[in-house]
Structure 1
Amino acid sequence: AAYLMLASPSIKRTTRRKRFTKAIARTGIVSDSVVPEAPGGEHDVRPPPGSILRMARALTGLPPTYGNRVELLTENDQAFRHIEEALAAAQSHIWAEYFIIQSDETGHRFLDLLAARARAGVQVRLLFDAVGSWRIDTARLAAIVAAGGQVEAFLPFNPLRRRWAVHLRNHRKMIVIDGKLGFTGGMNVGDEYSGRARNKGLRHYRDSHLAISGPAVGDLAQTFCEDWTFASGQALDCTPDPEPEPGSDYTVAIIPSGPDQQHNAHTLVTFTGISSAQERVYLTSPYFIPEASVMQALIGAAVRGVDVRVLVPETCDVAMVGPAGRAFFPDLAAAGVRIFEYRPSMLHAKTLVVDGEWGIVGSANWDIRSFRLNFE
């Protein structure tokens, strides 16, 4: 009922405009019929038919790339130390895009760093979700602008206007620094993510994030350019893809998803990955309310003898989500799915590992918002 009450009459209109923006950013041509292919590079991977990477490319138009260095960041204080050091060392530009930027010590440090780099002559662009970051420190945003940076809100929430959307939120969390280093994953900007809340004995999150260098950073930059153009109306030229990292051979596919896609990339990649698993499927999600198709994929994999494990928080920070998610447990358990609850803190990681061969670390949850409504 709440979904119907708050549903926006402009969802189709907004998603169509987002598709047009993507097409123009990639090809210069307005198109609403196909997934426009991003400009290719010499480090693109040409996946064989039937592979999950082939599907990702077809759904997003972003070719997987090789020669990437990837660092998994699971210790929150380590992750934010890495991010803050990288921001402080930026020389050319910082493009940052977040669902939540809290008005707390971590959020203030983040915004102050952006203002400092803008004063130093670094091109700073910050895109934040208008609903997720409703408590953002506006004085610090003004300081970034005064220093020469640019700030935009994604789909500002205004119920007095005819066209607005409480749904269609930008749930992405990513940074591109100098076109060479990128961060993305599940961590927003706030004390509960950085470890500062834990040090104060307050509620804190266990999360997963990635630091990426190499050609895949170009696809993160492409995603930011498209979102920035949509939110601001200003065209933004993407930087060329970085060269492969010496001695690094990770193949990475950046998989943006959202309601602007004819076929949601997050939904189809996870469904197909689970359905094609031969040995094991390990997934973590803070908000686990799977669609029927994904539910059947999990059950089907377990019945085939695949080791399927689901890790969720013991106590969810959204009160109604915990009981709603547990309603799916009996059918999953009856099929052989093993379900675990994480106790030390609020689990916020969104990950999937299939057969030990490939995995996903990202911003998307296993619920209707991430499957259908959010940009991930």
Structure 2
Amino acid sequence: MHYVNLVVFVFILLNTIAAIFTVLRRKRDIATTWAWLLVLIFLPYVGFVIYLFAGRSLSTKRMQQLNQEYARGVRAYTRQQHLSPADQDQLNSDMGLTGRELARSMWRSASAPLAMHNAFQLFTEGNAKFAALLADIDAAQVSIAVEYYTIYPDAIGTELRTHLIAALKRGVRVNVIYDAWGSLGMRDSWWSEVRSYGGQVVVFFSSKHIFTDFRLNYRDHRKIVVIDDAIAYTGGFNVGDQYLGRSAKFGNWRDTHARLEGDVVTALKIRFVMDWNATDANRPMPYPPLGVKHDDLPLLPMQVVASGPDTPQPYVKLAYAQLIMAARRRVWIQTPYLVPDETIMNALIGAATAGVDVRIMIPNMPDHPFIYRATQYYAKQLHEAGVHILHYQNGFLHAKSIICDDEVAGFGSTNCDYRSFQLNFEVTTFVYGKDATRKFAGLFTRDMQQSHLLTDADIDAQGGWLRFKQQFAHMLAPIL
């Protein structure tokens, strides 16, 4: 028995030392550090297998690719920022103080150019979004750039492929990026006909050494389509039948996506080129020249802000924090996953405490049960601090948006969670001005009519087992 105890002690000691060395050899925030130590110490061996796939950073080679392409992309962005005197006047009028400060902050820090002349059409339902997208693809004459986290080889995925093949037959250039983890079930051979007509398709950061190089983190979560460098689509919709409300599990799928025209299209094309060149350095795409000015379109300032392992700072998170802390009247957020880090959590509580109308709308059902328990935990904490938590009940809410007063609205691929703010490659488009912001507020108000406001009674009715799962999920929130 003495020897058994000694062996167990040595095993625990060696496992603890290995866990500390593994976690501390890379710079992380304190919450993530403790979460990984918890997993590695209390799940011996198994924890290290989990870490192998979910805890490692990108390789040095990948980071060099990203850094080199980011530098090129920043130079391309910089060429786009030329504001006319009329544009300067617009900065000082309709955008408001909060809008002007955010626009300047994101330009100075993230090199995100302010696109002044634009038009947009919002989509909240998949059938309308894909009908418009496929129609624009059918009208394409020069180029189509497609980037999605998820492309499923189902009915709508096959329909998209058919329209891309038809475009290739007309002589249109087609480039496609998709994420391997987000598109599970997709086989490379599914794209063989697209390639046979000259289309180029790449898997984001694919590797021949799938076991040793695969990572659950650092996924390309962006959704971007650019057609003829004149029309762009971006937002929350992926490509799959469930996003058109065809899933019995989720039913109606509520998302936010936009069709964009104007100066902002060039910024999205630059973002696509950066992702393409970092993924496929052997077939690089040229960056677009100085974009054509669209003076025929209304003055509607927009700004594309990207963040991820390829950016020096988590710019989208910083933008969210800046808006929340600058709000004077309201902050309304829609997100399918509510797992905020300490920065965003404190900003939300501070705003609510200061009397700002803070509302957060989340789904009433999980698509990832463990993450949903963490969402419930944070929803409860925020409710107790005076934040209004709304559970959307007409199907699944996948929209990712933020509204600050009547000055700024943001939408895109970024969820309000650790993964989007720190780990994934994301893109969010900020829209400035009262008229545009009120359109987003109108959608939020409409959704409120189909939502349930979280109450003290709802929380009191939660059982002990559910509370335990919420607490446990909260402990692992930084690595979910």
Q: Same fold (TM over 0.5)?
A: yes
Task: Name the SS of the counterpart of 2:203 in structure 1.
Answer: strand
Q: CA deviation at 1:253?
A: 0.1
Whose Rg is larger? 2
Answer 1 or 2: which has greater helix percent.
Answer: 2
Task: Name the SS of the counterpart of 1:263 in structure 2.
Answer: coil
Could you tell me how far apart the structure 1 residues matched to 2:322 and 2:74 are?
A: 27
- Is 1:193 aligned with 2:236? no
**Kindly tell me: are residues 203 and 137 of structure 1, through their superposed partners in 2, closer, same or farther at Cα, counting changes over 3 Å?**
farther
1:169-213, Cα deviation, whole Å (9 max, x unpaired): 100001000000000000000111134x06x78644210001110
RMSD over equivalenced CA pairs, Å: 2.2
**Kindly tell me: are residues 16 and 7 of structure 1, through their superposed partners in 2, closer, same or farther at Cα, counting changes over 3 Å?**
farther
**Kindly tell me: are residues 94 and 300 of structure 1, through their superposed partners in 2, closer, same or farther at Cα, counting changes over 3 Å?**
same
Structure 1 consecutive aligned stretches of length 4 or more whose deviation exceeds 4 Å: 43-50, 157-164
**Kindly tell me: are residues 324 and 9 of structure 1, through their superposed partners in 2, closer, same or farther at Cα, counting changes over 3 Å?**
closer
Could you tell me how far apart the structure 1 residues matched to 2:68 and 2:401 are?
A: 30
**Kindly tell me: are residues 153 and 245 of structure 1, through their superposed partners in 2, closer, same or farther at Cα, counting changes over 3 Å?**
farther
Look up the match of 1:370: 420
Look up the match of 1:249: 299
Structure 1 counterpart of 2:142, one-letter code: S
Contact 1:43–1:244, Cα closer than 8 Å, also in 2? no
Contact 1:264–1:372, Cα closer than 8 Å, also in 2? yes
Task: Name the SS of the counterpart of 1:11 in structure 2.
Answer: coil
Q: Note the 1:15-164 alignment, pairs <5 A.
A: 15-27=63-75, 38-42=78-82, 51-136=101-186, 138-156=188-206, 160=210, 162-164=212-214
Q: Note the 1:257-336 alignment, pairs <5 A.
A: 257-336=307-386
Could you tell me how far apart the structure 2 residues matched to 1:188 and 1:229 are?
A: 22
How many residues were matched structurally?
A: 366
Contact 1:287–1:366, Cα closer than 8 Å, also in 2? yes
**Kindly tell me: are residues 101 and 204 of structure 1, through their superposed partners in 2, closer, same or farther at Cα, counting changes over 3 Å?**
farther
185-194 vs 36-45, greater mean Cα deviation: 36-45
Could you tell me how far apart the structure 1 residues matched to 2:190 and 2:364 are?
A: 36
Look up the match of 1:338: 388
Q: CA deviation at 1:248?
A: 1.8
Task: Name the SS of the counterpart of 2:219 in structure 1.
Answer: coil
Q: CA deviation at 1:137?
A: 5.2
- Is 1:235 aligned with 2:275? no
Structure 2 counterpart of 1:214, one-letter code: G
Q: CA deviation at 1:37?
A: 5.0
Q: CA deviation at 1:43?
A: 5.1
Q: CA deviation at 1:59?
A: 3.0
244-253 vs 263-272, greater mean Cα deviation: 244-253
Gap runs ≥5 in structure 1: 28-35
Could you tell me how far apart the structure 1 residues matched to 2:343 and 2:214 are?
A: 30
What TM-score, normalized by structure 2, do the two folds share? 0.72
Identity, in percent, stands at: 30
Q: CA deviation at 1:349?
A: 0.3
Q: CA deviation at 1:140?
A: 3.8
Look up the match of 2:230: 180
Look up the match of 2:254: 206
Q: CA deviation at 1:159?
A: 5.4
